[in-house]
Amino acid sequence: MTAPRVAAHSMSDAARACERCGDLLDPKTKVYLELNCYTGIYTDPDKVTVPGNESQGLFWFGRACAKRVLASGGCNIRTPKGGAR
């Protein structure tokens, strides 16, 4: 059994940390959303097809965060823990 690494903000770990809250993702519950780089809106790739020339790629989110992003119209309002005063 390997312990998950804690550093979530290095580039090498970015793909495994939630785009919204920065938490490390559980492989069993993480979901990916596609970012349209023209609109800045995230969409569910199972439901929305982003034209290839507009896609910024797929980004991982925790399940709860993905729901919140989609519920807010695809806007990723980042809520880093302990960052804001």
Say how far apart CA 72 and CA 66 lie, in whole Å.
Answer: 10
Tokens standing for residue 57: 């790629």
Q: Are 60 and 32 in contact (CB under 8 A)?
A: yes
Nearer residue to Zn ion within complex by CB, 36 or 68? 68
Nearer residue to Zn ion within complex by CB, 62 or 74? 62
Name the residues that contact Zn ion, by CB under 5 A: 18, 20-21, 62, 65
Nearer residue to Zn ion within complex by CB, 52 or 73? 73
Largest CA distance in the chain: 42
